[in-house]
Amino acid sequence: MIAIVDYGVGNIANVERALKELGEAVIVTSDTELLDQAEALVLPGVGAYAPAMERLKETGLVDFLKEQAEKKPFLGICLGMQLLFESSDEDGLTEGLGILPGTIEKLPNDVRLPHMGWHQLTNHGEAVYFVHSYGAVCDPEWIVDAVEYGRLVPAIVQKGQVTGMQFHPEKSGEVGLKLLKEWRETTCNSTQQSI
């Protein structure tokens, strides 16, 4: 079973629909007991970084999610991916979950913001759907795929069992479903492989 973390911030219904389309058993919950029982966790997210972190703190899930990320496959989507990092400079400096090393920084001013629409992934070579104005800055070692948008912007990151997708796989049609399936098959079956 895959558990989607419900903390009041995110495009949960579409993520749930996409995973169910892949034949997965899915539960949407903020109950730590149910989250702990799940085989894998998905942290969705849309909106601004600071309010999202505040919501996670209000639900009491911050330390729990850090512990879970060491135990099982963990996927952050869009803002959910950004929250996995150490901090963001959106609206001042906000501390993140610190599960992944690196920071979230505003995309360059010489490109249109937000970065919204379909953009081709460098390695996979297929287009996925983005909506964001901030992106990860991290060690290239953790970058599985990226896009060029004013700078190299990590689109998929992975460190051990923890994966982040900056784009919206649930809004990216067949390509998004394929990438979710790859995540499910590789990280959930063999955490040493990279999608």
**Alpha helices (runs of H) in the chain, residue ranges in sequence order:** 12-21, 32-37, 49-59, 62-69, 79-83, 173-189
170 catalytic? Reply is yes
168 catalytic? Reply is yes
78 catalytic? Reply is yes
Average pLDDT over residues 61-75: 97
Mean per-residue pLDDT over the chain, rounded: 94
Average pLDDT over residues 148-177: 97
Catalytic pick among 16, 24, 78, 115: 78
- Give the pLDDT confidence of 6-55 residue by residue, as tens digits: 998 877 999 999 999 999 999 999 999 999 999 999 999 999 999 999 99
Residues above pLDDT 90, as percent of the chain: 92
Catalytic pick among 16, 24, 90, 170: 170
The Cα 137–Cα 139 span in angstroms is 7
Catalytic pick among 115, 132, 138, 168: 168
